[in-house]
Homo-oligomer: A and B are copies of this chain.
Amino acid sequence: MRILLNHSRVSVAAITSEKSAGKPITAVFPHLAGLTPLVCEHLDPEVIAKKADFVFLALPHVTAQEAAFRFQQLGKKVIDLSADYRLSDPVVYEQWYEHKHQYPELLKSAVYGLPELHRQTIRKALLVANPGCYPTSAILGIAPLIKKSAVDLKSFVIDSKSGVSGAGRSPSLAHHYPEVNEGFMAYKVGTHRHTPEIEQELTGLAGKQITVSFTPHLVPMNRGILTTIYAVLTMPMDTAQLLSLYHEFYRSEPFVRLLPVGQFPNVRNVRGSNFCDIGVYADARTGRAVVVTAIDNLVKGASGQAIQNMNLMMGFDESEGLKFAGLFP
C-alpha cells in the first residue's frame, strides 16, 4: 500500500482480509491514516474481479492456490506472493510443503518473478510467482558465479540473517519482543522451505542439479536480510576480477547496486527500498569467493519486487513507483 499509493499508473481498487473485513485498512495499519479510505472486504474473486484489473495475492500458502486459479479464470493477471507457484515441480512442492498441489496445470504456466533472471518471460506472464525473501538475496548473490563458471557447484554455503518482519504479523512466543531483542539464533537449520526454491533457480542457471547448505538466522531488527555466500573458486582471481564478473552480469539492472572492492553491504542502506546491494571478496588464502548481499525483505524481498513484476507485466516502466531512497537512519 505504501508503494502503490504513490505509483503514478495504479490506483488501489480493493483490499481483502478475512479477519478484518468491514474495517478500514487504516484501523489495521494506522500509519496509513489520512492516505486511503479503503475498507477491507472478504476475498470473493468475482466481486474483486469487477473492480480490479490486476491482483496481488498475499495469502498463506495452500490458500493461494485456488485464489490464483480463480482470478486467472476471470481473466486477471496475478502476482502470487505465497510459495504456491514458485516450485515448478509439484512433487518438490508436496515434499517441502506437505500438501498436494491442486492446480498442476496452472503451475506449469507460472513464471518465477525474479526480473534479473526472467525479465522477458515475466513481461508475457499471466501468473507470476513472486520469489521468497531469502531466495531473492541468495540467487542474486550467486547467479553471476554460476553463469561465469567461476566456482565449484558443490560448494555453496548460504548463511542468511533476517529481520523479524519476515515471520509475519501473527503473535507467537518466538517473536515476542523480549525473546527476540538482545537475542540471535539460527533456526530451521538445513530444513527451511526456501531451500528448494534456491536450488531450483541455481539448477536452472547451471544446467545441472545443485544442492546448497542454507541456514537462516533471526536478527533483532524489523527489516532486512543479509546473506553471506561461500563457494570454492575454480580459478585463481582477485577481488577486482571477481567484481568485474558481477558488473558484467548486472550491467543495466535498475535495482542491483554493486559495491566497490573492500566494501560490503549493510541492510540499513536498503531499508525501505527496492535495491539489492552486493559486495564480493576473493579470498586467496582459502580459495573461496565470499559474496554478501543485502535487501529489504519486505520490498525487494516481497512487495517491491511484486510491483517491479507488475510494471513488467503491464508494460509500465520497470522502475515506476520504485525509484526512491530507503529510510536512513
Contacts and interface: CB of A to CB of B under 8 A. Distances in A.
Interface of A: 1-2, 5-6, 29-35, 157, 159, 161, 163-165, 169-173, 175-187, 189-190, 211-213, 215, 217, 219-224, 226, 228, 230, 254, 257, 264-273, 275, 277, 279, 281, 283, 285-286, 288, 290, 292, 294, 323-329
Given A325-B5, A327-B272, A186 B228 contact: yes
Contacts of A165: 178, 329
A172 B212 CA distance: 36
Nearest to A30: B269
A35 B169 contact: no
Given A176-B176, A189-B292, A213-B286, A182 B266 contact: no
Contacts of A34: 254, 257, 275
Given A5-B324, A186-B292, A179 B220 contact: no
Nearest to A185: B266
A215 B323 CA distance: 32
B179 A35 contact: no
A259 to B, nearest CB: 8
Given A35-B323, A165-B329, 10 more contacts: A33-B257, A33-B269, A169-B178, A177-B180, A181-B222, A183-B221, A183-B266, A185-B264, A186-B228, A189-B290
How many protomers of this protein does the assembly include? 4
B325 A181 contact: no
16 contacts: A2-B327, A5-B325, A31-B269, A31-B325, A33-B257, A161-B161, A163-B178, A163-B182, A163-B184, A171-B171, A178-B329, A182-B268, A184-B221, A185-B264, A185-B265, A211-B286
Contact of A325 (B35, B190, B254): B35
Contacts of A221: 181-184, 220
A243 to B, nearest CB: 13
Nearest to A212: B286
A264 B187 contact: yes
A185 B324 contact: no
Contacts of A213: 230, 283, 286, 288, 290
A179 B212 CA distance: 32
A215 B189 contact: no
A226 B165 CA distance: 21
A206 B265 CA distance: 35
A173 to B, nearest CB: 5
A130 B35 CA distance: 25
A75 B138 CA distance: 53
B184 A177 contact: no
A221 B323 CA distance: 26
A177 to B, nearest CB: 4
A296 to B, nearest CB: 9
Nearest to A195: B285
A181 B329 contact: yes
